[in-house]
Amino acid sequence: MRSSAARQHRFPPSPRVQILLGFGALLAVSCAVYAALWLVEFGGSPGSVGLIELWTSPRAAEVLSGTVEVTVAVLGITLTVVAIIVELATRRFTARIASLFMRDLVNSLVLGGFVVTVVLVLWVDMSLYGPDYPEAMILVAMGALSAAVLGLLPYFGYLFGFFSPSNVIGRVQRQAARAVRRAARPGASIERQRERVIGSVEHLADMTLIAINGDESALAIPCIEALSEMARDQLAVKGELPAAWFSLESLAETDRDFVTLDSDMMSSLTERRTWLEAKILRSYQTAFFRGLNNAQDLNHLIAIHTQRIACEAL
């Protein structure tokens, strides 16, 4: 019974761990195959050549000269696949998905690593015929190129998982939750954190409308639930937030949900400290009217979460 219960509570590794595991598996297979070939070719002969001596021999420069084209080709393949996936994700979700992609640490590190590898291999290739043979440069360049090629497939797997609807919605919701918690800390940049929360709410609101228009209830439902969680996350720390968080002076001129409100309504929202709840409920209202004719189930869900937000506030 304990073993079955333990199996039920096991979760798959995170995407970042999966990309490391995939890279490690490919590296292990490559090393094992090369080691077997090494033993066949050099292992049994007396005074066999060493690995470092073999890879840094002057004749290996002929191989390194051709790796520049290989490195550029690998970078081109990566950027092409990334551009196609980002474009498809932008069409399905919103244009905001591009900024979410660029802010991700793994995407920045992998793409930056590919660019550095291309430049490094090119510069090493230009340094092969100096007065001293650059053995260390060759080893570093070959190691960087090998890591780039081995990491290609694991990164593509991470990329496909990154743009799954559940992961996109989860990232947006966690971004808003972190911004609210940071705003409650002394000395935090209120405007910056509030912009992140507003961007997250509008991101999920736009995704909800796109899903309703495309009759994708499987995408609209988690967006509606995530908006409710955002409101409840703020309610949990509302007493710790400073007064500047609830001021609507800047939002009255820039925010799409507040520019049409009169001064009395703006003063009321500031006094009651409910601008975020009003923005989320305004998103619910827009989605509710959009789904009157073809998404009654979603309207029922909107009503349920509206009641939950109200009960949590009370």
Answer whether 201's CB lies under 8 Å from 281's CB.
Answer: no
Distance CA 77, CA 55 (A): 27
The reported pLDDT for the residue numbered 50 is 66
The reported pLDDT for the residue numbered 62 is 67
Assign 222 to helix, strand or coil. helix
The reported pLDDT for the residue numbered 303 is 92
Assign 298 to helix, strand or coil. helix
Between vectors from CA 33 to CA 28 and to CA 38, what angle results, nearest 5°?
A: 120
The reported pLDDT for the residue numbered 49 is 60
The reported pLDDT for the residue numbered 65 is 67
Walk along the chain (314 residues) in steps of 10 and give the mean pLDDT of each run: 41 69 86 81 60 69 72 84 88 84 88 88 79 78 86 88 88 90 85 88 90 85 92 88 84 76 81 88 90 84 92 86
User: What is the pTM (predicted TM-score) of this model?
Assistant: 0.75
